[in-house]
Amino acid sequence: MAYLFTSESVSEGHPDKVADQISDALIDNFLAFDPSSKVACETLVTTGQVVLAGEVKTKTYLDVQTIARNVISKIGYTKSEYMFEANSCGILSAIHDQSDDINRGVDRTADERNFEEKAESQGAGDQGMMFGYATRETDNYMPLALDLAHKILQELSAIRRENKRIKYLRPDAKSQVTIEYADNNKPIRIDTIVVSTQHDDFGTDEDMLATIRRDVINYVIPRVKAKLKPSLRKLFNDEITYYINPTGKFVIGGPHGDTGLTGRKIIVDTYGGKGAHGGGAFSGKDPSKVDRSAAYATRHIAKNLVAAGVCDEVLVQVSYAIGVAKPCGIFVNTYGTAKVKGENGKKLSDGEIARVVEKIFDMRPYAIEQRLKLRNPIYSETAAYGHMGRESEWVRKVFKGPDGTEKTVDVELFTWEKLDYVDTVKETFGI
């Protein structure tokens, strides 16, 4: 029997995402000037106010107020009528030194470890379990509903910045896409699209709603469709149910309309509800926190497994104890789509696939950091429109210290999205 599945996304102007972007901008600046920095920072944004809190172990000093204001300005909160504006909002910093009790679990002496001191023995920054997921459903191996929800808001953001065809858009927005699937888990059609976008106050409530509905359906959605491959365009039809600003008015938004906090959009950040989530947020954490680094590593594994032909869909879990380098365990679920066989000619079980995965991918925290180049300032770009399913690319970034000195670095973004282990996976599994 056919079924429906829904995922949502939020724009870079959503208050929780504003908080995520500020926290990750701080991470990038710390890592740019001191790659060994250990950081866990949280951000709260509300009407006219930003509060920064967290723990840091670093050799550098940052002007956190300027960094936060630059992020807010880049997002688009630059007008006083938004009641949250880059140059005028108050910024309170309560960032302090990291607890030695936490740090000693990551950076311990050789005597405390009772074995040879090696960087490879870096312990996990916390306990917990992390999940990675991949599916053949889209070209970027992401769930379709989430991928479309992201694309709608990315297009809406691009239109807002163009400020030509639609000039009333404000930064805050949300989207939601519901897909109808057949019994074989193949998408049949798009059932429902929800878009709520903040906007200027430009007429009666009825006029504003009619204008926004017309522009989203007749201009935004066609721009999204035009960038999709033909097989996905076919999922759009005249029977889609649209809910455009269903409350009727969305003038008050952003941090003025709703307080934002770092780490409150973890499903938007990952797989839109597909697969599973260990519960840990990403933004504001340096890569010694396995909540972040191991979630990236399991996505890297899952994507390479599917791309190599091991299975059509897979969920990969890894778990850790704080201060211990070796994972507690690795779990694999292929949802019955596994295609690989052992030497005896029998189909490998998910447990057997997991044991092979352990041999291919070193999941100790230090090994993950090195393999995915996570000690680089690469995190600001992850803080809106998902940490997964993005394009890996090299970019040049410039950071300015509080004394005016600049540092230019070339970094590779979204390394966990690379299909650089496909050949190794194929060879190991005999594909």
**Is pLDDT of 80 > 90?**
yes
pLDDT band with cut points at 50, 70 and 90 for residue 330? very high
Instruction: Tell me the binding residues for K(+).
Output: 42
Write out the binding residues for ATP.
14, 172-174, 249-250, 258, 264-265, 281, 285
Mean pLDDT of 214-228: 98
297 and 418 in contact (C-beta within 8 Å)?
no
* Residue 164, pLDDT score: 95
Grade residue 269 by pLDDT with cuts at 50, 70 and 90.
very high
d(CA 167, CA 236): 26
* Domain segments of the chain as ranges: 3-10+143-255, 15-118, 128-135+275-429
**What pLDDT digit, counting tens, does each position of 360-397 carry?**
999 999 999 999 999 999 999 999 999 999 999 999 99
Question: For the ranges 171-175, 214-218, 322-326, 342-346, which has the lowest average pLDDT?
Answer: 342-346
What average pLDDT does range 73-100 have in this prediction? Answer: 93
Instruction: With 0.75 as the threshold, say if the pTM is over it.
Output: yes
The domain at 128-135+275-429 falls in which architecture?
2-Layer Sandwich (3.30)
Residues at the binding site are: 14, 16, 42, 55, 98, 172-174, 249-250, 258, 264-265, 281, 285, 289
Lowest mean pLDDT segment, chosen from 57-71, 113-127, 271-285, 355-369: 113-127
Please give the residue that has the higher pLDDT: either 401 or 213: 213
Average pLDDT score over residue span 170-183: 97
Average pLDDT over residues 354-358: 97
Least Cα distance to 128 among 298, 300, 7, 257 occurs for: 298
- Indicate whether 109 pLDDT > 90: no
Question: Which residue positions form the known binding site for Mg(2+)?
Answer: 16
- For domain 15-118, give the CATH number: 3.30.300.10
Give the pLDDT score at 125.
75
Mean pLDDT computed over every residue of the chain: 94
Q: Is 9 left (phi over 0), alpha (psi -120 to 50) or beta?
A: beta
Say what percent of the chain tops pLDDT 90: 89
pLDDT digit string (tens) for 139-165? 999 999 999 999 999 999 999 999 999
pLDDT of residue 405: 87
pLDDT in tens, 306-327: 999 999 999 999 999 999 999 9
Taking residues 161-177, report their average pLDDT.
Answer: 97
What is residue 100's predicted lDDT score, i.e. its pLDDT?
A: 58
pLDDT of residue 365: 96
Of the given ranges (121-125, 150-154, 198-202, 344-348), which has the lowest mean pLDDT? 121-125
Rounded mean pLDDT, 264-288: 97
pLDDT category at 118 given cuts 50, 70, 90 is: low
Distance between CA atoms of 116 and 255, rounded to whole angstroms? 50
Mean pLDDT of 420-426: 98
Let me know if the fold of 3-10+143-255 is the same as that of 128-135+275-429.
Answer: yes
Identify the residue whose tokens are 């809190």. Answer: 53
The pLDDT assigned to 1 comes to 78
pLDDT per residue as tens digits for the range 184-202: 999 999 999 999 999 999 9
**Residue 224, pLDDT score:** 98
When pLDDT is averaged across residues 75-103 and rounded to a whole number, the result is 88
Classified by CATH at the fold level, domain 3-10+143-255 comes out as GMP Synthetase; Chain A, domain 3 (3.30.300)
Q: Residue 135's pLDDT is what?
A: 98
Q: Residue 404 pLDDT more than 90?
A: no
| pLDDT value for 122 | 84
Give binding residues for L-methionine as ranges. 55, 98, 258, 289
pLDDT at residue number 106: 58
Higher-confidence residue: 136 or 113?
136
Among candidate residues 368, 373, 408, the one with its CA nearest the CA of residue 392: 373
Percent pLDDT > 70 in the chain is: 95
How far apart (Å, rounded) are the C-alpha atoms in residues 383 and 94? 22
